[in-house]
Amino acid sequence: MKIIIVGCGKVGDTLAEQLSAEKHDLTMIDEDSDRLHQVTDSIDAMGIVGDGVDHTTLMDAGIQDADLLIAVTGSDEKNLLCCVIARKAGHCQTIARIRNPIYNREADFLRREFGISMLVNPEYTAATEIFSIFQFPFAQRVDSFAKGQIEMFHFKIGEWSPLVGKKLSTTSAEFRCAVLVCIVKRGDEVHIPNGDFVPRAGDEISMVAQRMEAVKYFKKIGMSKNRVHNVIIAGGGNIGFYLAGLLLKSGTDVTIIEKSKERCEQLSTKLPEATIIFGDATDQKLLSEEGIERAEGFAALTGVDEENILLALHTNKISKAKTVTGVGRSSFNSVINEMNLGSIIYPRLITAHHILRFVRAFNTDYESEVETLYKLAEGKAEALEFRIKAGSSFTGIPIMKLKFRKNTLIACIYRNHKVIIPKGHDELMAGDSVLVVISGYSISSIREIFEK
């Protein structure tokens, strides 16, 4: 695909890196020549210094024959206008990043009236992911498929876990829960395991299940923990605001600590049910006064990575709270992931993955359609949800008779409101939502998981 990205900030940089790796024809636009060259010097992309809302700049970038324009500058208004001009000038698909809660509420209207293909809000998307984590505090991360009917839970195995030293087939027969372990990350290695795989302490597990089956499973392996009932949020920015709204709707008590007096006044008006504290969350005395030792959930979302990391380390030392740490930069994620920070959220990576899903869906074929995509195990694996179309060549054939590429697993089938953990005799059918887990390659169509 020929793709134009307007904006070379954190999200634009991450997008460019991932789309370049998938061999798309990229053109980057940014007004800052130094920032533009930092991106284009490290990937295969053309760079144009200019403003993305300038018609001449877009024409120089080849908007007339582009397939997709992605506007991810720091201005919501500029992103929206850039998409409108691109649609008029080139008739391509468009994606705009927005952050303002007002635009988030009017997303359907903006898409419809401006002809924008996709609006993505990094802060709201990050908040929904954090909210899911607080609903399932035994997991480090929760990903949803089939419109929330199927979920993938990511967790780390402790030294005394009953999973340690036993084959997966053995524990499956012992626990009798409809779950499927589909990825195991061990150090730098990523495994898509079969029934003979033997987990070790420290392994990071990704498991597919329906919500109630997952709850039963976690109880049996000694990781049962109810959703949190009170949360302290350090930082009253957009992520904290969106998260607080979601938590309050679920009946969770929320306290926000924010060091801007003006922002505190805004939050008090917009979130009257929350407790808003004017102060610095890095003040240990203030945290204690607000009950950090007794909190069930804590989210470090100050907007400063170093502060968030220190807050998470401190909280995990003095409290049993489920901790979530927001990290804006991902340059040192291999180091950060080894620290005791609880669940770690990278908003720019979440945003990039949502846009990447759209790009993959754009390249879909007549047999299947990409509906959901998540990068897993630090990008070394992917989980994709496909909708199977009528007339597909692989339907009606038992899975055990299909020949799959190496490191490929059909993890789950959702059919007629029923979740199926597939066995060898099960078949794929038109209309199914199928969850596929792969490692070592990328796909846009479910046909690509089969050997040629």
Boundaries of domain holding 236: 230-345
**Res 331: pLDDT:** 66
Q: How does residue 363 score in pLDDT terms, banded at 50, 70 and 90?
A: low
Could you say which of 186, 220, 254 is where a domain stops? 220
Judgement on whether residues 336 and 243 belong to the same structural domain of the protein: yes
Judgement on whether residues 191 and 300 belong to the same structural domain of the protein: no
Judgement on whether residues 271 and 302 belong to the same structural domain of the protein: yes
Judgement on whether residues 75 and 144 belong to the same structural domain of the protein: no
**Res 259: pLDDT:** 95
Q: Which residues contact 280 (CB under 8 A, 6 or more apart)?
A: 257, 259, 286
Judgement on whether residues 304 and 327 belong to the same structural domain of the protein: yes
Could you say which of 220, 254, 273 is where a domain stops? 220
Judgement on whether residues 114 and 207 belong to the same structural domain of the protein: no
**Res 365: pLDDT:** 64
pLDDT tens figures, 25-50: 999 999 999 999 999 998 989 999 99
pLDDT at 422 over 80: yes
The owner of tokens 């020929």 is 2
Q: Is residue 362 part of a domain?
A: no
**Res 105: pLDDT:** 87
pLDDT tens figures, 306-360: 999 999 999 999 999 999 999 987 667 667 877 888 899 998 888 888 898 888 8
Judgement on whether residues 46 and 68 belong to the same structural domain of the protein: yes
**Res 21: pLDDT:** 87
Total domains in the fold of the chain: 4
Q: Is residue 393 part of a domain?
A: yes
Q: Is residue 361 part of a domain?
A: no
Asked if 429 and 423 count as a contact pair (C-beta separation under 8 A), the reply is no
Q: Is residue 357 part of a domain?
A: no
Report the distance separating Cα 55 and Cα 164, nearest Å. Answer: 60
Q: Is residue 225 part of a domain?
A: no
Judgement on whether residues 215 and 167 belong to the same structural domain of the protein: yes
C-alpha pair distances (Å), 83 with each of 244, 265, 266, 372, 449 = 31, 34, 30, 23, 34
**Res 334: pLDDT:** 67
Mean pLDDT of the chain: 92
Q: Is residue 372 part of a domain?
A: yes
pLDDT at 276 over 80: yes
Judgement on whether residues 147 and 205 belong to the same structural domain of the protein: yes
Judgement on whether residues 116 and 132 belong to the same structural domain of the protein: no
Strands (E), 55-177: 68-71, 93-97, 118-120, 141-145, 150-156
Judgement on whether residues 18 and 67 belong to the same structural domain of the protein: yes
Q: Is residue 284 part of a domain?
A: yes
Judgement on whether residues 248 and 167 belong to the same structural domain of the protein: no
Report the distance separating Cα 72 and Cα 82, nearest Å. Answer: 10
SS3 of residue 141 by DSSP? strand
The CATH number that applies at residue 155 is 3.30.70.1450
pTM (predicted TM-score): 0.88
**Res 443: pLDDT:** 87
Q: Is residue 64 part of a domain?
A: yes
